[in-house]
Structure 1
């Protein structure tokens, strides 16, 4: 089981909301190591914090985990702005050591270029009619509340988890059509940027597929699906779902690795070389649409 990756991408954590799975993503990041961590938007939900949201200790622990990844494993962290954390616009771009806060970026994966953006810039409702976007956010928040109520009773009845919000979105034709249009438009945007792939979030629908010759990747979210994208050192991408992770197996693997490292400690240790961006890419290009 792989626990070391070149790059991990997560998005739509929505810290500050009741639906955020802050404990789960912190546990997830504790089990995996990567050279690059890309936080692709809506990590902090500024919209909800302005209204009825609240900041919990578990939300702070998420960022503590990020800082430990930087300090202990020299992880490069890229925090890209989303629509719910658009307050970051006031400080963009910003770099503090290995932490980069920016609008978007172009990422090189084994010679293939991927345009990475949260995805809200392609949502004309969010961009042009902000008040409608806020109404949609209220409706979605209500669905997530109903989701918790339904699953509380399902749990008492011994039934498995059921995502009511995902079910409703899958039954609404306009929502299904929106997702299809969203994915197609992002694929077109990647091509216009001279890239072979696109990595996004925003719509809370994890995906890994080809669209008209463009590799479309969506990291999903940490409100419903609890998913992330991971790239190995050969340039292969995969989706990882929290509910499918064998945490006991990972711990056993880590223990075996730890014991083997203790045996090899008598040999002169070799310094591990971490991933570094080429000099030309130290300041990735930013695109404002």
Structure 2
């Protein structure tokens, strides 16, 4: 059992055929935390307008989150763009899960973090309508390739591998968009007087210290299968969770008071 002080999850996309619900369910069953933040796109209302893909595993994920909330875990749900209809219920609670437009979280080491989904930064990242259209359609193609690639890997006894994330890491335009997004998020945290920011939205898990600000993106459960956790000592770590649990990045918060070089 992985003991956490706080768990940050986003971009689960329940109701979407590419949701990696089995891996997320395993993560939730093997972790315990005082607080869980759901940072948007937990349910994919956009995808479900076209076709609903609601599997037993996705239903178990939802049930697990509700059970944790009933058992005393504080669960805060900050809707994103794919579940923006939930923003109408900000300030209300559903099954002990509280809805908020954004939140702040103070770590065990006293670092104040701004929490939001991150779609508000789109206008600062977008290269124009044509590029946005190309980006959406190319990502759909990547997910298609990712889906079939991993089906073949399972048939041959292999574990999950994010082909989509690998291809994105090799595309200069994608890396440029990620950098713009990161810069916009860091600027938002600085203006608000926060020590850092935790967001999702762009499906790119990352922890770094830049301009003296802690930047954390918890990734997604569509292709990268990642979650951000605050460990009991207040440090932050990213976990990749598929057939095996793997810590892929960490930031000791004791070092976060130092300005980035």
Tell me which interval the TM-score lies in, with the shorter structure as reference length: 0.7 to 0.9
1:217 alignment partner, SS class: strand
Counterpart CA distance in 1 for 2:162 and 2:241 is 15
> Which residue of structure 1 aligns with residue 49 of structure 2?
50
> Which residue of structure 2 aligns with residue 245 of structure 1?
245
1:155: Cα distance to partner?
A: 4.0
Q: Output the aligned Cα RMSD.
A: 2.5
1:133: Cα distance to partner?
A: 5.5
> Which residue of structure 2 aligns with residue 25 of structure 1?
24
Counterpart CA distance in 1 for 2:165 and 2:31 is 27
2:204 alignment partner, SS class: coil
Counterpart CA distance in 2 for 1:130 and 1:75 is 42
1:30: Cα distance to partner?
A: 1.1
Structure 2 unpaired stretches of 5+: 247-261
1:162–1:238 Cα change, 3 Å: closer
> Which residue of structure 2 aligns with residue 5 of structure 1?
4
TM-score, normalised relative to structure 2? 0.84
Counterpart CA distance in 2 for 1:105 and 1:3 is 24
1:159–1:31 Cα change, 3 Å: closer
Counterpart CA distance in 1 for 2:47 and 2:143 is 13
Counterpart CA distance in 1 for 2:135 and 2:4 is 36
CA deviation vs aligned residue, 1:70-123 (integer Å, no higher than 9, x gap): 223x10001111111111122223235742111111111132210011111101
CA deviation vs aligned residue, 1:179-223 (integer Å, no higher than 9, x gap): 011111111110101100000111111111101110111111111
Could you list the runs of 4 or more consecutive aligned residues of structure 1 that deviate by over 6 angstroms after TM superposition? Answer: 129-132
CA deviation vs aligned residue, 1:136-180 (integer Å, no higher than 9, x gap): 444422321121222333444555544332233223221110001
CA deviation vs aligned residue, 1:238-279 (integer Å, no higher than 9, x gap): 112213428xxxxxxxxxxxxxxxxxxxxxxxxxxxxxxxxx
1:227: Cα distance to partner?
A: 1.1
1:82 alignment partner, SS class: coil
Counterpart CA distance in 2 for 1:172 and 1:25 is 27
Summarize the alignment of residues 101-180 of structure 1 with structure 2, pairs less than 5 Å apart. Answer: 101-109=99-107, 110-124=109-123, 136-157=135-156, 161-180=160-179
TM-score, normalised relative to structure 1? 0.76
Counterpart CA distance in 2 for 1:215 and 1:169 is 23
1:123 alignment partner, SS class: helix
1:168–1:213 Cα change, 3 Å: same
Tell me if the contact between 2:4 and 2:229 (Cα under 8 Å) persists in the aligned partners: yes
Q: Which range is displaced more, 150-159 or 182-191?
A: 150-159
Q: Which has the larger radius of gyration?
A: 1
- Count matched residues: 244
